[in-house]
Structure 1
């Protein structure tokens, strides 16, 4: 796991966008795993800027969302399929038919979970997965206690997660209790994981998954087992890391040719 500490969310977005741009220029039909929430927004803003100002081409790229609420009607403003379109894919030239999300509105949720796994496999797997981390250590919607080998499935949201996400709705009671999410095993199949986090509110979770034991109690800790996991955080999110000086030294002396 590589931990990179930068001054602000703007630098987080730029570094993560560098990695995605390098991938897309090297592999125009790259498959990118798309996350929602506040953490990825600086990445999407920077990629949209590079598309508009520098002609970065996403026309052959495919995108797969991490998760989706269960029970929101199709086209709901806060459904993650709509959020991803609004925040990223509609701002670049990704073909609409190449943007995929798990179906949380179907009556056959179990079938939808398997269909999503099959769609990811048919696309050749995910080249780069964008991740955020919840205050309780979840990635995707894999709440504490999730199986480290889990695949795409239905999950019940922890109450803390519902409270954290209530800011996107008018009232807490509008936040669904259930989601369809890629499992931890599904996420770990991606060839490169890029997790971003900023703000003091994420400091405990960052400390726990970077430097704590690998445990289902902190689902993001499974990144310690991935051969290519990049964690990009700001100073506030890094404030509880005992190894912060070592992480800074390693990044400051990293060969330029190595990339992320």
Structure 2
């Protein structure tokens, strides 16, 4: 694992955007795996800035997102489809037909999970996967469990995840209780993985995930087994690392 230490969130965002932009420049037709949440927003803003300066071209890039809430239509302002268009897709020259997310409105989990897994396989897999890190060690919506979930699957969200997300909704009752997500095996098949983590409140889980034992109780710990992982974290998130 490579570790890049950032001074603060803005520095972290630049460093992560550097890695993604290098991938795009080296392979303009690359497949990027993208994440949502508050942490990647700065990274996307930096990519947009470089695009506007003429330094980046997204015209051949394909993207596949990690996850999507089950039961939220794409035009709901809390859907990940909406998030990606707001923070990246509508601000660069990526083709609409080259951006893929799970279909949150598909009620048949088996059908949707199979469709999305086949899609990723048809695209030739992910060249670089961007990940955030949940407070409980989840990546995507792969929650702590007794075993590592393998393929794309439908997950019941844990109370802590629902609690963390309720600030985005009118009430906790409005937070979806399920989501479609890439599984651990799907994530681990990406050729390169970039994990971005910010803030002192993530320091304990960073230590457990990357310097502790590999266990499905901390899903992100499996990333220690990948041969090309880069952790980009600010000093606050690394404050417990000696």
Secondary structure of the 1:76 match is coil
Tell me, yes or no, if the aligned pair for 2:142 and 2:149 is still in contact at 8 Å: no
Q: Deviations over 1:167-196 (max 9, x none)?
A: 211211111110000000000000000000
- Secondary structure, counterpart of 1:233 in structure 2: strand
Structure 2 matches for 1:168-247, cutoff 5 A?
168-242=168-242
Maintained 8 Å contact 1:146/1:219: no
Which residue of structure 1 lines up, in the alignment, with residue 129 of structure 2? 129
Q: How many residues matched?
A: 242
1:149 Cα shift? Answer: 5.1
Instruction: Tell me the TM-score normalized by structure 1.
Output: 0.91
| CA deviation string 1:202-256 (max 9, x = no partner) | 11111110111000000000110000000000111101113xxxxxxxxxxxxxx
Corresponding residue for 2:164?
164
* CA distance in 2: counterparts of 1:148 and 1:3, whole angstroms: 24
Q: For 2:149 and 2:228, how far apart are their aligned partners in 1? A: 18
State the partner residue of 1:105.
105
Which ranges in structure 1 are unaligned for 5 or more consecutive residues?
243-260
Q: Which 5+ residue runs of structure 2 have no aligned equivalent?
A: none
1:155 maps to 155
The answer to whether the 8 Å contact 2:28/2:58 transfers is: yes
Q: CA RMSD in A?
A: 1.1
* Distance in 1 separating the partners of 2:87 and 2:104: 20
> TM-score, normalised to structure 2's length?
0.97
